[in-house]
Amino acid sequence: MQPARRLSTVLAVCAGERCSALAETGPGVPASLRSAVRASEHGVLVSTPCLRNCEHAPVVALGHGSGPLSPGPRSEGAGVQIRVTTWLGPVRADELAALSRWVFSDGAESLPDPLLGVLFQPLAP
């Protein structure tokens, strides 16, 4: 059994109806993003229900987490706290490619230019 690890960069991909319908790669998490996260050392990828920012669809929320996470595809995040710090949308092909490269580099640098153009402030809950 592998030891628990600390979360680092968390990517929450909205799987709500509008985001799924407008995603150029089809519904679900794009394969390029999934591959980049798997190849990164500190990336964590989650698919979420509607993030309630449909006017920016498709949406990806970036955050940072702390706390233990047991390895495995069905890990429960007991004690894990995730704080979303950045909202991106609409995330189209160019932004998705830039996001995949950024994640693959473990988010060590600031966000690349294509992503700066799609930053937004979320609606208040």
**pLDDT recorded at residue 41:** 82
Which pLDDT score, from 0 to 100, does residue 96 have?
A: 92
Note the pLDDT tens digit of each residue in 44-57.
888 889 999 999 99
Encoded amino acid at 31, one letter: A
> Does residue 6 carry a pLDDT above 50?
no
In Å, how far are 43, 52, 55, 102 from 40, measured between CA atoms? Answer: 6, 28, 30, 10
CB distance 13 to 33 below 8 Å: yes
User: How is domain 5-116 classified at the CATH fold level?
Assistant: Glutaredoxin (3.40.30)
Give the domain ranges of the chain. 5-116
